[in-house]
């Protein structure tokens, strides 16, 4: 039996909030498309209080940011990037070009080709989220992208040394201090000083996510990312404090970040509300995390692992931490999620910052039909074909002609027929 001991806000509440975001973003994009960089500057001044002579940093300015960090900070950034690079390189090896002779004289194949230019958005208005630079810029470079432009808003009125250093060490070709919808639109549409890109990736707030959604089609995007979501699946092999820490560790992302607990332990379900309050008392981000838990937190008590699986599949959360006696049982059966974190020794923070998997993941149920950002998102798979013999062309052409006739496509049919007539003469 499944009991919902605490429920979060409804989808309708979220939809009402999103409507105003859509209208605002639409107006900003239209203005930037019409007026270019002058509009970008106005929005940067309005939203970020930032209007530099040049949004793009010089090599000297980038180096100054790197030099501002301690040797330990640089070492830690390089360590994290080494883990992410290593896993991305292994993923790249799983992609291969294919060529096969499917019939005598008929050759089909595909080539994996990196996207030519990518824009990476790194959020950083409230917190300097330098890890997003690793996940986007570095992964694009491993994929072989020729031009990678990176944008991040100013942090506390100036470029964030941490974010800029991470961008540079990851291999960004251009670094711009620019945030929000104006940054996404500038990369997608181009301005007087920014050439448009082919693909935009990276997380952001509701306005950034909506800008990517509205620009999709004119430019590619990695995915439409909503507020961070986390789900903890647990039994009585862990305790309420650990569960509370792992829920609030993601709830601190924003006041609309859902945090779900699905458990078979009545003890954890009963103790979790108090544990949440205890953990909040020691978090600097409690003003944000507490609102997220109050409005979007859920506690779901189940009788069996099968019921927990059913609820987890329904929620399709971005992050799913499994702390049960047999976490691999869920690995083998779950199909709807962004990323799995198996066992009590790991957690979502490891994935967010350093362990090597990518932290840009599907939200709002998108894990039903897509995975997260990975090296393959920066690569296009294009097919090709060739026919080596007249006999093969005639064989395919005769069938193609009859199929075109069934569809009443006379032009398509003639493409086949002319080859059958010409190449079939000598047979």
Active site residue 318: yes
The token pair that represents 410 in the structure block: 């006379």
- Of the candidates 176, 298, 318, 359, the residue annotated as catalytic is 318
The Cα–Cα gap between 282 and 188 comes to: 41
- Would the annotation count 121 as a binding residue? yes
The Cα–Cα gap between 375 and 92 comes to: 6
The Cα–Cα gap between 342 and 13 comes to: 32
Active site residue 408: no
The Cα–Cα gap between 112 and 92 comes to: 10
Q: Are strands 98-103 and 106-114 parallel, antiparallel or unpaired?
A: antiparallel
Give the C-alpha distances (Å, rounded to integers) separating 190 from 70, 183, 286, 362: 35, 10, 39, 27
- Would the annotation count 198 as a binding residue? no
Helix runs in 36-70, H state only: 37-48, 59-67
- Would the annotation count 228 as a binding residue? yes
The Cα–Cα gap between 340 and 86 comes to: 19
Closest to 318 (Cα-Cα) out of 268, 257, 254, 243: 257
Q: Are strands 297-301 and 3-6 parallel, antiparallel or unpaired?
A: antiparallel
- Of the candidates 134, 176, 319, 359, the residue annotated as catalytic is 319
The token pair that represents 81 in the structure block: 């990037």
- Would the annotation count 412 as a binding residue? yes
* 57 phi/psi in degrees, rounded to 5: -80, 145
Helix runs in 171-281, H state only: 180-189, 206-215, 240-251, 266-280
- Would the annotation count 182 as a binding residue? yes
- Would the annotation count 319 as a binding residue? yes
**C-alpha 26: how far from its chain's center?**
22
Give the C-alpha distances (Å, rounded to integers) separating 167 from 57, 132, 350: 12, 9, 20
The Cα–Cα gap between 32 and 357 comes to: 35
The Cα–Cα gap between 215 and 199 comes to: 10
Annotated binding site for NAD(+): 121, 182, 205
Annotated binding site for substrate: 228, 250, 253, 319, 352, 407, 412
Annotated binding site for Zn(2+): 250, 253, 352, 412
Catalytic residues: 318-319
Annotated binding site: 121, 182, 205, 228, 250, 253, 319, 352, 407, 412
């Amino acid at each position: 039996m499944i009991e919902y001991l605490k429920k979060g806000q409804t989808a309708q509440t979220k939809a009402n909030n999103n409507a105003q975001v859509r209208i605002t973003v639409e107006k900003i994009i239209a203005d930037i498309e019409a007026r270019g960089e002058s509009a970008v500057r106005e929005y940067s001044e309005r939203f970020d209080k930032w209007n530099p002579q040049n949004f793009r940093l010089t090599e000297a300015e980038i180096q100054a940011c790197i030099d501002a960090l301690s040797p330990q900070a640089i070492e830690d950034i390089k360590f994290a990037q080494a883990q992410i690079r290593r896993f991305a390189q292994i993923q790249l090896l799983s992609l291969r070009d294919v060529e096969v002779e499917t019939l005598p004289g008929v050759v089909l194949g595909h080539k994996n080709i990196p996207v030519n230019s990518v824009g990476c958005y790194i959020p950083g208005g409230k917190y300097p989220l330098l890890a997003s630079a690793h996940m986007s810029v570095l992964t694009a470079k491993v994929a072989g992208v020729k031009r990678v432009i990176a944008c991040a808003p100013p942090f506390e009125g100036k470029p964030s040394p941490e974010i800029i250093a991470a961008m540079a060490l990851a291999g960004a070709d251009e670094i711009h201090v620019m945030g929000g919808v104006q940054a996404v639109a500038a990369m997608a549409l181009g301005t007087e000083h920014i050439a448009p890109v082919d693909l935009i990736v990276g997380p952001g707030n509701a306005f950034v996510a909506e800008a990517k959604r509205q620009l999709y089609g004119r430019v590619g995007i990695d995915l439409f990312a909503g507020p961070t979501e986390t789900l903890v699946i647990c039994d009585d092999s862990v305790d309420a404090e650990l569960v509370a820490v792992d829920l609030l560790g993601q709830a601190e992302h924003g006041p609309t970040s859902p945090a779900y607990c699905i458990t078979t332990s009545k003890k954890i379900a009963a103790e979790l509300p108090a544990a949440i309050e205890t953990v909040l008392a020691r978090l600097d981000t409690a003003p944000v995390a507490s609102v997220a838990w109050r409005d979007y937190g859920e506690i779901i008590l189940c009788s069996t692992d099968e019921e927990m699986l059913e609820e987890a599949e329904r929620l399709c959360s971005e992050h799913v931490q499994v702390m049960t006696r047999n976490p691999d049982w869920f690995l083998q059966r779950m199909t709807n999620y962004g990323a799995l974190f198996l066992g009590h020794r790991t957690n979502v923070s490891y994935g967010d910052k350093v362990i090597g998997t990518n932290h840009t993941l599907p939200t709002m149920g998108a894990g039903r039909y897509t995975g997260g950002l990975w090296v393959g998102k920066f690569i296009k798979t294009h097919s090709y074909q060739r026919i080596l013999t007249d006999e093969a062309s005639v064989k395919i052409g005769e069938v193609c002609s009859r199929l075109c006739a069934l569809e009443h496509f006379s032009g398509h049919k003639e493409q086949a027929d002319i080859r059958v007539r010409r190449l079939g003469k000598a047979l």
